Structure 1
Amino acid sequence: MAKFNIWSAVAAGTAAGIVAGMVKMGWENILPPRTPARDATNPPQRTLEMMGISPEAAHATYSYNGHDLPWPSYLVHYTFSTGFGIAYTVLGHYFPIIKTGHGLFFGLAAWAGAHLYTLPKMGVIPAAADQPVEEHVSEALGHMLWMWSIDAIGNTFYERMTALHQDQD
């Protein structure tokens, strides 16, 4: 068995987090978690505003193909996804139990920890009981798919990088 290479795991987690962030955004186009009114200021924008960023900056956009796209939201979204991708890939080596179910259980735990507890406590989103069932369904399933993607992509990328390093040795 090859020696664990933390830098390969960080690279794998980074790649997995970026791609899984795209998966999660795609999922939310199929099953939007929030109503249009609640999405007028989405959770990343609200978080930025709570950190002292002006509403104008938190809602800044760039234009592509006639669409105004919220780049600060994307920055928060991908930072979060990449951070979890790295943590999952590295910590999964030391604590393999977190990889039980190929990320599905970890994704469900991440959803519960963030959307049922932390974000409501921070005032970013309504209390869990005040969120519509559609939000719970979209976020729970979306987080499971997101972490499953991190698991699949991170593991594959790490295995290939490790094999590449072994071939070079």
Structure 2
Amino acid sequence: MTKFKLWPAIAAGTAAGIIAGMVKMGWENLMPPRTPARDATNPPQQTLENFGVSTEAAHATYSYNGHDLPWPSYLVHYGFSTTFGVAYMVLGHYLPILKLGHGTLFGIGAWAGAHLFALPAMKVVPAAKDQPMEEHVSELLGHMIWMWTIDAVGSKVYERKVEQSNH
């Protein structure tokens, strides 16, 4: 058994978080969790506004190929994803129970903690009972796939980084 190495775990969690963030965005294109009206201000934008960022700044965009894309939302989205990727890779070493189900159980916990409790409490999304079933299904499955991706990518990147550092 190789000794746990923190920096490779951080690098692996960061890489996995970025890739899993892309997977989660792709998932939401297949199964949008919110109606267009509710997505006019998406949860990352609402979170930024709740923390005092102006509506104009929270809704800032850049243009690519004729599409206006919300870069502040992407910063929050990928910040969240990489933070959880790093936490999963580091804490999962010390608490292996977190890795049961290759991240899917952790994803269920992240979904419940965020979308059923924290985000409603912060007034980012409606109370869990007031969210449509489509939102619950999309977010639950999306979080499971997101964390499964973090587990798969993070584990592989960590192994590679440790192997490289041993040579």
| TM-score for the superposition, normalised by structure 1 | 0.98
Q: Give me the whole-angstrom Cα distance separating, in 1, the residues matched to 2:29 and 2:5.
A: 36
Give the letter aligned to residue 132 of structure 1: P
Gap regions ≥5 residues in structure 2: none
Counterpart position of 2:58? 58
Q: Give me the whole-angstrom Cα distance separating, in 1, the residues matched to 2:7 and 2:165.
A: 11
Question: Identity over aligned residues, as a percent?
Answer: 73
Counterpart position of 1:16? 16
Q: Residues 111-130 of structure 1: matches in 2 within 5 Å?
A: 111-130=111-130
Is residue 27 of structure 2 the alignment partner of residue 27 of structure 1? yes
Large movers: runs of 4+ above 2 Å: none
Q: Residues 140-155 of structure 1: matches in 2 within 5 Å?
A: 140-155=140-155
Counterpart position of 1:104? 104
Q: Give me the whole-angstrom Cα distance separating, in 1, the residues matched to 2:155 and 2:97.
A: 15
Alignment partner of 2:60: what SS? Answer: coil
Give the letter aligned to residue 142 of structure 1: G
Query: 1:95: how far off?
Result: 0.3
Query: 1:37: how far off?
Result: 0.1
Gap regions ≥5 residues in structure 1: none
Q: Give me the whole-angstrom Cα distance separating, in 2, the residues matched to 1:147 and 1:17.
A: 9
| TM-score for the superposition, normalised by structure 2 | 0.99
- What is the root-mean-square deviation of aligned Cα atoms in Å? 0.4
